[in-house]
Each structure stands twice: as C-alpha cells, then as structure tokens.
Structure 1
C-alpha cells in the first residue's frame, strides 16, 4: 500500500489533493471557494479521526485557516509530530511555512531567526531540492531586510 510520508493511504489523500486543486482553480479566477474549503476541512477531520494528528493533516488544515495564532499552533504541532515520527519530508515544508509566516507577518526577529534556522537544518535532508533551497534563499533575504 502506498502512503504519504507520514503514513496516510495515498488513495485517501487523493481526495484532499483534488479538493485543494479545486480551491486553487477557483481562487485563481476570483471565485468564492469557501464551500470547498469547508468540505476539505471536513475530509481532513475524517482522516485525523482515522489516523490521528499527522503532520500532513495538521499542516494542510493550517493552510485553510485564516486566524494567525491557530494557523501557527497547528503548524507547530505538525512540526513536533513530524519530528516524533521522523517525517523528514513534512518537517522541511512545515518549518519553511512557519519561518515564512513569522518573517512576512510578524515583527519578531527572534522567532523568525529560530524558524529560519530550523528550516536550514531541515534542508540538510534535501540538498538537491531546488524549490526548497530557492525558498530558503528568499526567506533569508527577507529576514536580513527586517
């Protein structure tokens, strides 16, 4: 059975991917996607009930939540869980998201630096990943400009 990096059956996760794609398409043409977002959250809740608070589930929920503190709470829980289960893939993406949130939305250089450093360390597992390395360079430049 194929699974995500944190153990979700890939066929069950496909529903989430399809809904996220639908949301992205609707947003791109400036159409209200709130009904689909609610459906996605409900599907994530079902997966969480079955699999527990896995990093993929929590970090995806965070993507569709507007409230900043709740978003950070979910992401930090997802990061801790990814560390506990040695989910290196999710760990790198989650630390990058948290670093980006702090750098772009807070005037908190201490936390920004902390999460940027976490992201840099997590990148050691992905030295060839162009997207993540480029994102690290961009976030580093933004951090230096704070």
Structure 2
C-alpha cells in the first residue's frame, strides 16, 4: 500500500504533528501544574488547565471552521489533537476528585468535578464566540478556491 493510499492516522506526518503538539502540551501542563497552588486541600491547577484547554479548543475550532486546506488540517492535528490533547487532562481531574472523596471532602469533590466540566463547556463556547467575533470584525479574505472544473 502506498503512503498516499493510507488513511491519515497511518501516515508519518500526521502522527509526527500530533506527537510534537502533545509533547508541547504535556510540558506546558506540567509547568503550570507546578506553578498554580492548591486552595486548601483542593488542587486548582488541573481545573484551570482543563478550562484553558477548552477555551483554546473552542478558538481553534472557530478559527479553522470550514477550511479543508492542508495547513488547516495540519494545525488541527498539531494544536487540537496534539497540543490541547496533551495539555488537558481529565484523568488527573478524576484522580483529584477521587482523592477529595476519599479524604471525606464529598461536597468539594463533587463541585470540583462537575464545576470543571460545566465551566469547561462554557469556556469552549466562549472561545468559539470570541474567535467568531474577531472573525466578523476582520476584513473578509478572498474565499478559498476549489479545484478547477
């Protein structure tokens, strides 16, 4: 099977883009998790990181909406799947929630988990809305041309 016939998830370039983005995202997550302090017994880093990642993903979604150019596909792989996938961490959110519940802090644990998911959903919407607003205010670029017929 030739490389051009392979689906994107089996080609080296898309895999490398996701790996590079994921590496950078995970490094940024770790750096922020070391910088953001706990609020008493409640860790704030993971919810803050997940909400920031949700906002970034919303912006990226809106910025690349409707474009099928290869640069857009590559940016989705590098920044969306790679960076945001490595940056956000719902497994750590689940672990932190379990620790809060185990330590007898059930109300904090429930609020921690549900609040992060709800605020993350709002952050995604806010990212879409913010980039949509910027897009409406910027001068219109010429539309992409499709293949000649």
TM-score, normalized by length of structure 1?
0.33
Instruction: Determine which structure has greater relative contact order: mean sequence separation of CA pairs < 8 Å that are 6+ residues apart, divided by chain length.
Output: 2
TM-score, normalized by length of structure 2?
0.32
Of structures 1 and 2, the larger Rg is shown by 2
